[in-house]
Amino acid sequence: MTKAIKTVSENRCFGGVQGVYSHESDATSCEMTFGLFLPEQAAHVPVPVLWYLSGLTCTHENAMTKAGAQAWAAEYGIALVFPDTSPRGEGVANDDAYDLGQGAGFYVNATQAPWAPHFRMWDYVAEELPALIGANFAIDPERQAITGHSMGGHGALTLAMSLPGRFASVSAFAPIANPTQSDWGTKQLGAYLGDDKAAWEKHDSALLMREKGFDGPVLIDQGSNDQFLDLLKPEALAEAMTAKRQDGVFRMQKGYDHSYFFVSSFMEDHVAFHAEAMLG
């Protein structure tokens, strides 16, 4: 039975439609909201889809309104999905810190109290939301790619390497690249997954890159003036890509920081990169 989707808003955008929708989620046991841009081609045929996972403190709205991705997606006839970053609402566990709890789901399935009942963002992004969108919108499930920023870059990379064959390509803007060795990771992975470090390693893109690599092309952009460089640990991912001889490019962008000014500056490159992988 197809789950009910509620339309929050729909706006004409670059010839297509930028929508915001909500639904009751089985994975997170609460109402979830997501953004979906459909290019004009989706009115006639199923279209390829690029997933964009956002970072700490963000909702579905940040990239949807700040990244400038719709213009380039419309040019290539690609849909964009903007999931939320965590479960939300009354009864959902939270923390006073910005980097734990609501807005900081880290794209994992929590096993520890008080997070386990709702914080199942891996299942939500990997399984439930793709099935929901595929059942309700003109999306081609055989042509998917994924990208993300910061915590979302971490999620994009770990999902792509853990779900071989799902995504034609993966990219990231300033990803949290080595969370098992960073305060942006040890705190959250410990809270959500407990003390079992083996469980943490399944969500570390530098470790996954060394172990598995990705079965397609990779594009990483990192700003040299990023105020969070010591927390992101991009060098670990760059070294892992080299050691694995991964098909990919790691670019250090001189003078750029961690903001959406950085993301929007290179969004055209990333959409074109994914379009080539999905469309040829």
Residues marked active site are found at 150, 226, 258
**Separation in Å, CA 165 to CA 141, 145, 160, 216:** 11, 10, 8, 9
100: Cα within 13 Å, side-chain hemisphere: 18
Q: How far apart are CA 85 and CA 102, in angstroms?
A: 8
CB of 85 closer than 8 Å to CB of 157 = no
Q: Is 192 exposed, middle or buried (0-12, 13-18, 19+ CB in 10 A)?
A: buried
CA proximity to 138, closest of 60, 48, 11: 48
Q: How far apart are CA 119 and CA 248, in angstroms?
A: 32
221 Ramachandran zone, left/alpha/beta (phi>0; psi -120 to 50): beta
Q: How far apart are CA 256 and CA 79, in angstroms?
A: 27
Q: How far apart are CA 170 and CA 145, in angstroms?
A: 6
Q: How far apart are CA 226 and CA 270, in angstroms?
A: 19
